[in-house]
């Protein structure tokens, strides 16, 4: 995997860094000085290049715009207390990216481009990795089809790119959500497990309807019966019932296999908690709530890490939670944040140094 030396680097003549206010970063608005670009053609990946960040041009017939062969990832890089710059679990995102690619009939991206390219890009823009607590450099790898033809076929050419955006702590206000009983996010056999652009496009209207009704997000349910819980907006979802954590299982292929989800499970296990990955019906949640056993509910994803649920509505029944009384969610969030800032032990080697 040490073919990083192959990557051609063209440095920007000036840096934008001084013009960015790191104490007041809004999510995904600022980008660093460089980006990585790799082209796929004639059945193979060409050597990636690191170039100054900037617009790319394309033909109006470019396949992605019409048929949506497009996938992405979201990862964070941190400056540890020791000064080392490190990426949180990028190999998990790498594997997931290629699962998404396969489902969308796109070529897989080799490790030396995805991981090696990411490390080298982060080295070039290392000055952008914030050192403040809970700040990070958000890494956005993505791939899209570039054939210039409006016939419905898998593209024969693709672009893989990585861009970087400094982000501050994500203040996730406790969410007001309702159980969605009309729209669906994913079906068995569909693309719910893939991180593909169209899933996001399809979620925008149901989310806008939720906003109009005064809610922040939707709790997605299964497409057949609207009976079983899937995800909360674009986050995985966890419930604490009695002494157990419960989160939907991955078997149906309708759940995005979140890296944060997996991290929450690992940390909860370290805390001696039982975590059940299985089907959860909304009725089970209601019964547990009525019995006083459902005490915590939260979403899990890279952007916010953990976003608490303050209100969950199912038909006319409203379940309320006190975000100030979710000790397990708080403990997990603080352990994960501490690992990512290098102030807690990292027994699983989740942090990958950007060097070497």
Ligand X SMILES: *Cc1c(COP(=O)(O)O)cnc(C)c1O
Under the rule (CB under 6 A), what is the footprint of ligand X? 74, 195, 231, 234-236, 256, 258-261, 301-302
**Residue 147 φ then ψ, to 5°:** -60, 145
Paired tokens of 50: 């690191």
In DSSP terms, which residues pair with 281 in a beta bridge? 228
CA atoms within 13 A on the CB side of 287: 5
Residue with smaller CB distance to ligand X, 146 or 236:
236
Left if phi > 0, otherwise alpha if psi is -120 to 50, otherwise beta: which for 68? left
Quote the least distance from Cβ 235 to ligand X, whole Å.
5
**3-state secondary structure at position 48:** coil
Minimum CB separation of residue 109 from ligand X in Å reads: 17
With tokens 């396949």, the residue in question is: 63
Beta carbons within 10 angstroms of residue 331's beta carbon: 14
The DSSP letter of residue 216 is S
Minimum Å distance from CB 207 to ligand X? 12
Which CB atom, from 135 or from 261, has the smaller least distance to ligand X? 261
Q: In the numeric block, which tokens belong to residue 7?
A: 């990557």
Please state the closest distance from residue 206 (CB atom) to ligand X, in A. 13
- Measured from the CB atom, the residue of 258 and 323 that comes closer to ligand X is 258
Looking at the Cβ atoms of 7 and 223, the one nearer to ligand X is 223
Min dist CB 68 to ligand X, Å, is: 15
Nearer to ligand X, 37 or 250 (CB): 250
Q: Measured from the CB of residue 11, what is the shortest distance to ligand X in angstroms?
A: 31
CA distances from 9 to 6, 44, 119, 131, 160 (A): 9, 21, 13, 25, 16
Spatial contact of 297 and 320, defined as CB atoms under 8 Å apart? no
Half-sphere exposure of 163 (CA within 13 A, CB side): 16
Name the residue nearer to ligand X (CB basis): 200 or 317.
200
140, 27 Cβ separation under 8 angstroms? no
User: Shortest gap between Cβ of 233 and ligand X (angstroms)?
Assistant: 8
- 146 vs 252, which CB is nearer to ligand X? 252
Largest CA distance in the chain: 64
């Amino acid at each position: 995997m040490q073919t990083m030396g192959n990557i051609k680097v063209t440095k920007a003549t000036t840096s934008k860094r001084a013009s960015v206010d790191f104490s007041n970063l809004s999510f995904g608005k600022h980008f660093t000085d460089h980006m990585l670009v790799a082209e796929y053609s004639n059945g193979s990946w060409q050597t990636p290049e690191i170039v100054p960040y900037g617009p790319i041009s394309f033909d109006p017939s470019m396949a992605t715009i019409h048929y949506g062969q497009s996938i992405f990832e979201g990862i964070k890089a941190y400056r540890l207390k020791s000064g080392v710059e490190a990426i949180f679990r990028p190999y998990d995102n790498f594997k997931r990216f290629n699962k998404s690619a396969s489902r969308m009939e796109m070529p897989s991206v080799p490790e030396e481009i995805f991981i090696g390219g990411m490390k080298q890009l982060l080295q070039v823009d290392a000055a952008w990795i914030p050192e403040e607590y809970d700040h990070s450099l958000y890494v956005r790898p993505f791939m899209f089809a570039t054939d210039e033809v409006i016939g419905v076929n898998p593209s024969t050419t693709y672009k893989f790119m990585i861009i970087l955006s400094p982000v501050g702590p994500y203040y996730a206000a406790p969410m007001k959500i309702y159980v969605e009983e009309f729209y669906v996010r994913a079906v068995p056999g569909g693309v719910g497990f893939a991180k593909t652009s169209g899933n996001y496009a399809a979620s925008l209207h149901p989310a806008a309807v939720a906003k109009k009704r005064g809610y922040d997000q939707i709790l997605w349910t299964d497409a057949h019966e609207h009976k079983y819980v899937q995800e909360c907006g674009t986050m995985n979802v966890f419930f604490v019932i009695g002494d157990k954590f419960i989160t939907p299982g991955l078997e149906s292929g309708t759940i995005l296999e979140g890296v944060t989800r997996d991290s929450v499970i690992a940390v909860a296990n370290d805390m001696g908690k039982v975590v059940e990955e299985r089907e959860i019906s909304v009725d089970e949640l209601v019964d547990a709530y009525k019995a006083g056993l459902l005490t915590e509910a939260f979403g899990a994803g890279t952007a916010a890490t953990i976003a608490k649920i303050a209100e969950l509505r199912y038909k006319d029944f409203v379940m309320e939670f006190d975000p100030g009384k979710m000790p397990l969610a708080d403990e997990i969030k603080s352990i994960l944040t501490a690992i990512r800032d290098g102030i807690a032990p990292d027994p699983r080697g989740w942090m990958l140094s950007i060097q070497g």
